Amino acid sequence: MNQSVIPELPRFTVGNAAPGFPELRAGNLGVRLAISAAELDAVQALRYRVFYEEMGAKPDAATAASQRDADEFDAIADHLLVVDHDLGEGANNVVGTYRLIRQEAAEKFGRYYSESEYDISALKRFPGTKLELGRSCTATAYRSRAAMQLLWRGIATYVFHYGIDLMFGCASLSGTNPEALAEELTYLAAHHMAPESIRPRALHDRYVEMRRLDPAGIDPKQALMRLPPLVKGYLRLGGFVGDGAVIDSQFNTTDIAIVVQTDLVTDKYYRHYEREAR
């Protein structure tokens, strides 16, 4: 559940001024980490516009008054930004964001965001270094291949910098009617289920069956095409899904758990990201 309180600046403030984290550029667009309270505020304002005003999330009174999507996890996260330099310099040029929560920060805080929807015990037992991804969005005019590639480049740089072995988080399909998403959910469960050793499972009281149809009766290519671009991006990186979907009525979404082992990234992406990280 979102909280309306704007948290303090995240503890990890390693943006473009930090060694190993130069801003990556593609024309007028750049990607880097937030380094100021004003940029965090811009992130939360952007998330409010996308999630609440555009996608139909339901704000409580305090959230509506602040017009910010903010919760307690913002204060322990790094916030990846896409900025448009044609809009000038400063917080007003933030046009995309991704929230990154490292294992170190989550363990000190006491939990991951995903634990409100999923049992991630198997992931916690995974011996490598973990990173939780979430709260991804871009402004309407920037939902382009260029902006998405920049976000992935930024994540890749972050992953290599911190030696991340496994990434996970919740991804969303629009709407709260599983029957309307039956083909997509069935396709994901039938073709991309995570190995049991790293498989999250929806909490018992929130569990929604993903295998809603006979997999033999659906067209995998058509089901894949209907998935959100972000989910397709995870799958291209060799990503898996967890067991069970979760209805998030507040955000008007059906959520799935995503898991990506960085050593399973395809050779093409691995070589590309390694070059960018260097």
- Sorted by where each begins, the domain ranges of the chain are 99-277
Instruction: Characterize the bridge pairing of strands 78-84 and 94-102.
Output: antiparallel
Helical ranges in 90-181 per DSSP H: 103-109, 121-125, 145-162
Rounded to whole angstroms, the Cα distance separating 122 from 237 reads 21
Rounded to whole angstroms, the Cα distance separating 85 from 93 reads 6
Give the pLDDT confidence of 63-87 residue by residue, as tens digits.
999 999 999 999 999 999 999 999 9
Find out whether 273 and 153 touch, Cβ atoms under 8 Å.
yes
99-277 CATH fold: Aminopeptidase (3.40.630)
Which residues is 254 bridged to in the sheet? 173, 247
Q: Given a cut of 80, is residue 274 above it in pLDDT? A: no
CA-to-CA separations, 194 to 23, 101, 191, 209, in angstroms, rounded = 33, 21, 9, 15
Closest CA to 47 of 20, 80, 21: 80
Angle separating helix axes 229-236 and 145-162, nearest 10 degrees? 50
What is the pTM assigned to this prediction?
Answer: 0.88
Rounded to whole angstroms, the Cα distance separating 272 from 203 reads 36
Find out whether 10 and 79 touch, Cβ atoms under 8 Å.
yes
Rounded to whole angstroms, the Cα distance separating 152 from 137 reads 13
Output the pLDDT for position 17. 35
Q: 188-223 in b/e burial notation, b at 16+ Cβ within 10 A?
A: bbbebebeeebbbbbeeeebbebbbbeeeebeeeeb
Instruction: Characterize the bridge pairing of strands 253-261 and 130-138.
Output: unpaired
Q: Given a cut of 90, is residue 21 above it in pLDDT? A: no
Output the pLDDT for position 89. 83
Q: Given a cut of 50, is residue 113 above it in pLDDT? A: yes
Q: 3-class SS at 138?
A: strand
Rounded to whole angstroms, the Cα distance separating 196 from 95 reads 37
Output the pLDDT for position 20. 53
Q: What is the DSSP string of 76-104?
A: GSEEEEEEEGGG-SSGGGEEEEEEEEEHH
Q: Given a cut of 50, is residue 177 above it in pLDDT? A: yes
* Residues found in the chain: 278
Average pLDDT taken over every residue of the chain: 88
